[in-house]
Structure formats: structure tokens, C-alpha cells
């Protein structure tokens, strides 16, 4: 009996050795199953940027935020739905929140235009599927970034994003830019792009352009990991919802209703 | 050895020339696509994968099905597959070649393709898919080439080839499982988010691959009078029917789960595909055709008499081939994007350049398969 046990133990060790050699159960497995997070320390970062959209303040018919963003980021307008590029735009509420009964849950109507943009998810499925790490989640602040020079244009991220936040440059982007902003790069054809939470300016303590341009004060940008931040206070004192919370992506964009 | 693949009568030469012309036309349009961008295809912000990825997905299945010849012959010593196995391997080589070309055609920045190797990302299924497909094409080519060489020289198959054959078995299952995982792991795409995706992929592969091979071997017989063992054909047709029956069974399970649970997200795409959604029904005729052809194919081939009549067997194989092509190509890939993540229906229409490029890739595939088949036949005849 004893002998048998020992053999089993030996076998077990041998097997686990082989398994470790092959990389199963080791760091590789961690990498495969860690949803888009390539560094374990990341979840402890002090900063996780997020946004609160106050749907009660957002004015119907106003598109100041989208205009400001698209102008500053050289987002092309191809005048075609097929080749469309958008970083931030308005969408009927029923498209963003599909599982509500709009006849009864009447805080907002089905066709009310709601703002939408990249959710900069805590567990971004787009990051997980990218074969080149051309899209990744920044360790220090949770922003989901894009490297337009590394992207191979496979569009796996677009299939993986459950929010439709990503656009692909089917057409030559530079042809669709009415007024060029020399301070921000234009993109090349054949790469994916999306909202970057204005990572190019927020480091200087500025708010993203959409927040700056909103006259109604409907948009609040801030650190979700800081309990004293303005955004956390808003979320504490107001009822809020997230898009498709059941998917586990954990969006960082919240809607105050 | 390869030069023997180009030796044939005038008909064969015209066939190759014709394929080369179709390929050239495809290359012309590919140059245009490189120049103008993927905007010249029917793909859009909502339908971000189209005909290229549909063909890719289908062809991975065709490639994987070579295992259905390798297992009986090498594992079960079913000697009647002796002369057929190599055709399955060549078909796999041709199919993976087409897969690679379809992926390249689909990429926005194909010149950056090697970024996948420069920045290996084990978390990405696409990274694994590229690796397993490259490995698979290499294994099948090396095995096929050495088998033929040893046939030609009359020497035994070199010892190191056998292990490769055995590796190819799980590897074949692997390529199609990994390809299914491209789809089955994405949150928010409910047609794809199903645990039975990989089994379904394999079942339909084991129908479509043998169906394709039966058709090809029939064409070979008619044009070159080269015949394989009739028993091998009969076994191959049985494999195809079993594959198709399991495929239809799995598909119906999707229906049960979606419609009995009554969860809208799960029902909507199936509704779109089979009945239309919000007044959009462009794929409905295709999907219904696929279902009807598949069922007719299976039912007619259940009868032994029908299977033993060559013309009818090939007709049945053709029906099953078309059925699986529509189902695993367009219906699965394009359907997966409908409705969109925002709950809207955007439809997809293939464009002429996109079709030309795709036909060009098929022509390159057929060219490769033709040359390899011809080489094999010519060598066997000269022994």
C-alpha cells in the first residue's frame, strides 16, 4: 500500500514537472485567463479613470462633446455609415440599455439620446483578444489604449467589444478630416481606433475635451479608486447604471439616471 | 517531384491556365484593396468580418477533416485508405494555404502580419490559431511528400515520419477547436457564445471535408481515369453522413436552448437567419437553402442503393458541401454580428472586388490541389 502511494506521489511530481515545463498552470495559464491584465500588480493601482454621464443634464440635440472630441482627435467624417468612425456619440437609450421595459421603467424614454463612448473596462475583452498587444490596458490608470502603429487591422477587438465602441479605418482617414489638428496624430488606413479618454492631456490635470466642452456639466471625469473624488461622490449620491453589467467587463463609464 | 504535377493533357493545361487567370484577376483586385483600403469590401463598422473570414472558417474545417482519413488508416490499419490518405493530406495543405490567404486578405495592415510573432500574446486565440495552422500545413506537407517519395522509390517510409502522422491527429482537432474559440469566447456575441461551438465545427468539418474530397476524386476519375478503391469511397461517404447527422443534431440543440429558454439575446440571431428580424432578411434564403440541402443530402444518402450509385453519391456530397459552406461561412460569421452590439440590424452585401479576391484565392487553392493530385497520380502511374 505504502509503496503504491509513493509511486503515485512520484508520478504526480513527474506529471506536474512536465506540466510546469509545458507552461500549464504556470505564468502562462495566468496570462491566458487573466482577462486582459498582463500585470497582477495592476489591480492595486491607485488610479482608475472613469466617467459619469448625467443623463438628466445631457441636453437633447446638443453634440458639443462629440464635435470637440472628433475635432481634437482628427476623427474623420466619411459621410458613410459603412466606413463611419466615431469615438463618442449619441445613441437612443434603448440601444445602450436593451433589457429594460421602457413602458414601465420610465426614468428615461426608449428613444432618449444617450451619450456613449469606450467604457475603458476593468476587464476589457478587446485587450484580451488582440494578437499583438496593439490595444492594452494602461497599468497606472486603467485607460484602454491603442497603438496605431502596431495594429494589424484584424478587427478581432471589434468582434470582442460588446459595446460597439471601436471603429475601423476602412477608408483613408486623412481624406475625411475637415480641419486638421496638428497636435494630435492622424491615423493610417486599416487600423482600429476608439476613445482614449484624452490621455494626451489628462496628465496635466485637464479634463477630457468632451467634459470641458459640455456646458450643462453632464460629464464628470475622475478617479474611481479614490473615494473622495468628485465622481465617486456623484456615484454615491445618485442612482447609476452601467452598460451590460452581466458580461463582467466592468465598464468605467457610469450613467446617472 | 513537383514537376510531375504539371504534366498532363491539353485539357489539364487549360484548367491550370484558367485558374491562373482567375488568380491574376484576384491579385489585381487585391492590389486595388491595398491601394484603397478594405472600404472596397462590403464590411462595415457593424459587420466587421465578412466573406473573407467566412471562407477562412469553412476552410479550416476542410483542412481538419484530413484526420478522418488518417485515423482509420494509421490507427485502425484500414488498408483500403492506403491510396486515399495522401489526397486528404494534399487537400489539407491546399485548404490551409487558402486560409492563410483569406486572413491576409482580411487584414487592414497585412505588411504588419509578423507583429503577431514579434509580440507573441498567449492570451489571444488568434496567436494560437496562426501557430496551429502553420504547424498543421507543415506536418501535412512533410508527411504527404515523404509518403509519395517512398512510394516512388519503393523504400519504406522513413521512421521519423510516423510520429508526425500521429501528432497530426490531435493537431487536426486542435486547429478547428482553436478556430472555434476565436468565436466562442467573445462576450456579447450570442450566436457564437456557445460551448458547443467547437464540437459543431468539428462535426461540420467531418461532413464538408469528406464531401469535398469525394467530389474531387470523382472529378479526378472522370478526367484522368485514375480510380481509388471503391470501398474507400464507400467508407468516406459514410464518414461524411455521420458527420452531417451529428452536425444537424448539434445545430438543433442551439435551437432548443435559444427558444426554450426564451432569452432574447440567444434567439435574435437565429430568428434573423431563419425568419428575418425587424424586416431584414437578406440571409434567410441562403440559410434556408443550406438547411434544406443538408437535410435532403443526408436523407438520400441514408439509402445504400443511392450511395452505391456514383452520380447520386456525388450529388449528395455536393448538397452537403454547399449546405455546410453556407452554414459555416456566411451564416455563422455574418450572422454573429446581427443584431449588432447596439441591437441594430445592419446587413452585409458582398462587393465585386471582394468576390474577385475570394475567387482568386480559391483558384490558387485549386491550382495547388490540382498540381499535388496530378503529381501523385503521375508518380503512381510511373511506378
- Whether pLDDT at B257 is above 60: yes
How many structural domains comprise chain A? 2
In a domain, A160, yes or no: yes
Closest CA to B330 of B48, B61, B29, B52: B52
The two counts, helices (H) then strands (E), for chain A are 9, 10
Residue in the block written with cell 440599455: A97
- Whether pLDDT at A39 is above 50: no
Average pLDDT over residues A228-235: 95
Instruction: Encode pLDDT of A51-89 as tens digits.
Output: 999 999 999 899 999 999 999 999 999 999 999 999 999
| Residue B358 and residue B52 in contact, taking contact as beta carbons nearer than 8 Å | yes
Q: What is the pLDDT of residue B342?
A: 95
When pLDDT is cut at 50, 70 and 90, the band that residue A8 belongs to is low
Q: What is the pLDDT of residue A41?
A: 40
Q: What is the pLDDT of residue B127?
A: 93
Grid coordinates of B116: 503577431
Average pLDDT over residues B17-38: 96
Which of B36, B114, B333, B341 is best to mutate for the A interface (most A CBs within 10 A)?
Answer: B341
Parallel/antiparallel/unpaired status of strands A219-223 and A240-241: unpaired
Hey, are the CB atoms on B39 and A160 less than 8 Å from each other? Answer: no
% of chain B residues with pLDDT over 90: 85
Q: Is the ipTM of this complex over 0.95?
A: no
- Whether pLDDT at A257 is above 60: yes
Hey, are the CB atoms on B341 and A189 less than 8 Å from each other? Answer: no
Cis ω on the peptide bond leading into residue B354 (within 30° of 0)? Answer: no
Scanning chain B, the segments in alpha helix (DSSP H) are: 10-36, 51-64, 67-70, 85-106, 115-118, 125-153, 161-184, 197-224, 230-261, 264-274, 284-301, 304-308, 310-326, 332-335, 352-382
Instruction: Encode pLDDT of B282-337 as tens digits.
Output: 999 999 999 999 999 999 999 999 999 999 999 999 999 999 999 998 999 999 99
Hey, are the CB atoms on B108 and A32 less than 8 Å from each other? Answer: no
Q: What is the pLDDT of residue B77?
A: 87
The DSSP annotation for A172-201 comes to -GGGG-SS--TTSPPPPTT-EE---TTHHH
Task: Report chain B residues whose CB lies below 8 A from the CB of A36.
Answer: 123
Average pLDDT over residues A43-51: 85
Q: What is the pLDDT of residue B75?
A: 87
Beta bridge partners of A144: A137
Q: Which domain holds residue A233?
A: 47-256
Separation of alpha carbons A82 and B348, rounded Å? 10
Which of B33, B56, B109 is best to mutate for the A interface (most A CBs within 10 A)?
Answer: B109
In a domain, A186, yes or no: yes
| Residue B137 and residue B369 in contact, taking contact as beta carbons nearer than 8 Å | no
Mean pLDDT of chain A: 87
The DSSP annotation for A8-53 comes to HHHHHHHHHHHHHHHTTTSHHHHHHHSSS---GGGGG-S--EEEEE
Mean pLDDT of chain B: 93
The verdict on A195 and A71 lying in the same domain is yes
Q: Which residues of B230-241 are buried (b: 16+ CB within 10 A; e: fewer)?
A: eebbebbbebbb
Task: Report chain A residues whose CB lies below 8 A from the CB of B346.
Answer: 81
- Whether pLDDT at B366 is above 80: yes
In a domain, A41, yes or no: no
Q: Which residues of A207-226 are buried (b: 16+ CB within 10 A; e: fewer)?
A: bbbbbbbbeeebbbbbbbbe
**CA atoms within 13 A of residue B283's CA, in its CB half-sphere:** 33
- Whether pLDDT at B218 is above 70: yes
Separation of alpha carbons A168 and B44, rounded Å? 8
Average pLDDT over residues B14-28: 97
Q: What is the pLDDT of residue A254?
A: 97
Grid coordinates of B284: 434567410
Closest CA to B381 of B235, B234, B220: B220
Q: What is the pLDDT of residue B113?
A: 92
The verdict on A24 and A65 lying in the same domain is no
Q: What is the pLDDT of residue A10?
A: 55
Q: A82 vs A153, A168, B231, CA distance in Å?
A: 16, 10, 52
When pLDDT is cut at 50, 70 and 90, the band that residue A230 belongs to is very high
Q: What is the pLDDT of residue A210?
A: 96
Q: What is the pLDDT of residue A33?
A: 56
Q: What is the pLDDT of residue B108?
A: 94
Q: Which domain holds residue B336?
A: 2-382
Spatial strand order in the sheet of A240-241: A219-223, A49-54, A253-256, A240-241
Grid coordinates of B121: 500574446
The verdict on A1 and A78 lying in the same domain is no
| Residue B210 and residue B240 in contact, taking contact as beta carbons nearer than 8 Å | yes
B117 to chain A nearest CA, in Å?
8
Q: What is the dihedral of CA B120, B123, B126, B129, to 10 degrees?
A: 90
Average pLDDT over residues B242-254: 95
Q: What angle do the packed helices B352-382 and B125-153 form, to 10 degrees?
A: 30
Hey, are the CB atoms on A131 and B39 less than 8 Å from each other? Answer: no
Parallel/antiparallel/unpaired status of strands A219-223 and A167-168: unpaired
In a domain, A40, yes or no: no
Average pLDDT over residues A18-40: 50
Q: What is the pLDDT of residue A42?
A: 47
Of A134, A155, A164, the CB nearest to B49: A155
Which of A153, A157, A191, A247 is best to mutate for the B interface (most B CBs within 10 A)?
Answer: A153
CATH of the domain at B158: 1.20.1630.10
Of B48, B107, B188, the CB nearest to A152: B107
* Residue A129: partners with Cβ closer than 8 Å, 6 or more residues away: A156, A157, A159, A160, B123, B124, B125, B126, B185, B186
Average pLDDT over residues B183-203: 94
The verdict on A139 and A23 lying in the same domain is no
**Could you say which residues from 243 to 272 on chain B have a Cβ atom under 8 Å away from some Cβ of chain A?**
264
Grid coordinates of B329: 461561412
The verdict on A18 and A62 lying in the same domain is no
In a domain, A38, yes or no: no
Q: What angle do the packed helices B197-224 and B352-382 form, to 10 degrees?
A: 60
How many structural domains comprise chain B? 1
Q: What is the pLDDT of residue A43?
A: 55
Separation of alpha carbons B238 and B45, rounded Å? 43
CATH of the domain at A198: 3.30.70.20
Hey, are the CB atoms on A153 and B36 less than 8 Å from each other? Answer: no
In a domain, A244, yes or no: yes
Residue in the block written with cell 428615461: A108
Q: Which residue has the higher pLDDT, A90 or A32?
A: A90
Q: What is the pLDDT of residue A31?
A: 53
- Whether pLDDT at A236 is above 90: yes
In a domain, A228, yes or no: yes
Q: What is the pLDDT of residue A32?
A: 54
Q: Is B303 helix (H, G, I), strand (E, B) or coil?
A: coil
In a domain, A234, yes or no: yes
Q: Which residue has the higher pLDDT, B258 or A12?
A: B258
The verdict on A26 and A60 lying in the same domain is no
- Whether pLDDT at A40 is above 50: no
The verdict on A158 and A107 lying in the same domain is yes
Separation of alpha carbons B143 and A163, rounded Å? 46
Amino acid at each position: 500500500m505504502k509503496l503504491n502511494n509513493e509511486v503515485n506521489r512520484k508520478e504526480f511530481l513527474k506529471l506536474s514537472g512536465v506540466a510546469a515545463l509545458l507552461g500549464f498552470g504556470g505564468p502562462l495559464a495566468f496570462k491566458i485567463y487573466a482577462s486582459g491584465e498582463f500585470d497582477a500588480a495592476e489591480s492595486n493601482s491607485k488610479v482608475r479613470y472613469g466617467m459619469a454621464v448625467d443623463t438628466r443634464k445631457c441636453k437633447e440635440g446638443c453634440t458639443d462633446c462629440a464635435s470637440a472630441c472628433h475635432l481634437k482627435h482628427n476623427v474623420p467624417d466619411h459621410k458613410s455609415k459603412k466606413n463611419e468612425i466615431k469615438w463618442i456619440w449619441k445613441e437612443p437609450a434603448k440601444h445602450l440599455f436593451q433589457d429594460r421595459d421602457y413602458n414601465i421603467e420610465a426614468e428615461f424614454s426608449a428613444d432618449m439620446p444617450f451619450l456613449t463612448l469606450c467604457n475603458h473596462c476593468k476587464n476589457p475583452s478587446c485587450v484580451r483578444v488582440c494578437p499583438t498587444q496593439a490595444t492594452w490596458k494602461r497599468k497606472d490608470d486603467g485607460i484602454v489604449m491603442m497603438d496605431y502603429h502596431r495594429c494589424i487591422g484584424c478587427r478581432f477587438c471589434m468582434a470582442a467589444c460588446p459595446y460597439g465602441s471601436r471603429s475601423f479605418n476602412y477608408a483613408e482617414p486623412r481624406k475625411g478630416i475637415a480641419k486638421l489638428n496638428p497636435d494630435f496624430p492622424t491615423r493610417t488606413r486599416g487600423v482600429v481606433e476608439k476613445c482614449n479618454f484624452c490621455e494626451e492631456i489628462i496628465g496635466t490635470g485637464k479634463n477630457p475635451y468632451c467634459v470641458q466642452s459640455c456646458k450643462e456639466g453632464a460629464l464628470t471625469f475622475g478617479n474611481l479608486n479614490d473615494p473622495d473624488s468628485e465622481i465617486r461622490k456623484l456615484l454615491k449620491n445618485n442612482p447609476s447604471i452601467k452598460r451590460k453589467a452581466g458580461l463582467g467587463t466592468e465598464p468605467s463609464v457610469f450613467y446617472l439616471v | 517531384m513537383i514537376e510531375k504535377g504539371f504534366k498532363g493533357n491539353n485539357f489539364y493545361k487549360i484548367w491550370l491556365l484558367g485558374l491562373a487567370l482567375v488568380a491574376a484577376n484576384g491579385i489585381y483586385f487585391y492590389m486595388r484593396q491595398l491601394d484603397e483600403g478594405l472600404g472596397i469590401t462590403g464590411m462595415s463598422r457593424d459587420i466587421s468580418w465578412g466573406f473573407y473570414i467566412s471562407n477562412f472558417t469553412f476552410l479550416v474545417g476542410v483542412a481538419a477533416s484530413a484526420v478522418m482519413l488518417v485515423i482509420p488508416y494509421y490507427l485502425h490499419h484500414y488498408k483500403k485508405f492506403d491510396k486515399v490518405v495522401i489526397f486528404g493530406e494534399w487537400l489539407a495543405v491546399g485548404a490551409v494555404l487558402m486560409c492563410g490567404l483569406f486572413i491576409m486578405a482580411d487584414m487592414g495592415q497585412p505588411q504588419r502580419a509578423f507583429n503577431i510573432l514579434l509580440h507573441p500574446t498567449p492570451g489571444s486565440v488568434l496567436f494560437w490559431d496562426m501557430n496551429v495552422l502553420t504547424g498543421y500545413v507543415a506536418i501535412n506537407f512533410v508527411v504527404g511528400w515523404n509518403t509519395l517519395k517512398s512510394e516512388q522509390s519503393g523504400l519504406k517510409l522513413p521512421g521519423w515520419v510516423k510520429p508526425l502522422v500521429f501528432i497530426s491527429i490531435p493537431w487536426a482537432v486542435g486547429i478547428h477547436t482553436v478556430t472555434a474559440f476565436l468565436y466562442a469566447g467573445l462576450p456579447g456575441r450570442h450566436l457564437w457564445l456557445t460551448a458547443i461551438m467547437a464540437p459543431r465545427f468539428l462535426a461540420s468539418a467531418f461532413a464538408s471535408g469528406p464531401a469535398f474530397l469525394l467530389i474531387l476524386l470523382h472529378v479526378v476519375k472522370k478526367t484522368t481515369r485514375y480510380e481509388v478503391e471503391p470501398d474507400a469511397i464507400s467508407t468516406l461517404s459514410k464518414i461524411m453522413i455521420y458527420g452531417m447527422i451529428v452536425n444537424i443534431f448539434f445545430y438543433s440543440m442551439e435551437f432548443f436552448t435559444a427558444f426554450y429558454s426564451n432569452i432574447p439575446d440567444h434567439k435574435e440571431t437565429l430568428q434573423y437567419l431563419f425568419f428575418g428580424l425587424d424586416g431584414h432578411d437578406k440571409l434567410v434564403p441562403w440559410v434556408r437553402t443550406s438547411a434544406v440541402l443538408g437535410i435532403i443530402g443526408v436523407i438520400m444518402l441514408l439509402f445504400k442503393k443511392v450511395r452505391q450509385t456514383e452520380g447520386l453519391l456525388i450529388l449528395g456530397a455536393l448538397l452537403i458541401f454547399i449546405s455546410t459552406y453556407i452554414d459555416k461561412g456566411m451564416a455563422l460569421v455574418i450572422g454573429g454580428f446581427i443584431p449588432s452590439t447596439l441591437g441594430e440590424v445592419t446587413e452585409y452585401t458582398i462587393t465585386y472586388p471582394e468576390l474577385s479576391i475570394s475567387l482568386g484565392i480559391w483558384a490558387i487553392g485549386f491550382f495547388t490541389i490540382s498540381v499535388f493530385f496530378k503529381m501523385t497520380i503521375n508518380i503512381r502511374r510511373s511506378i
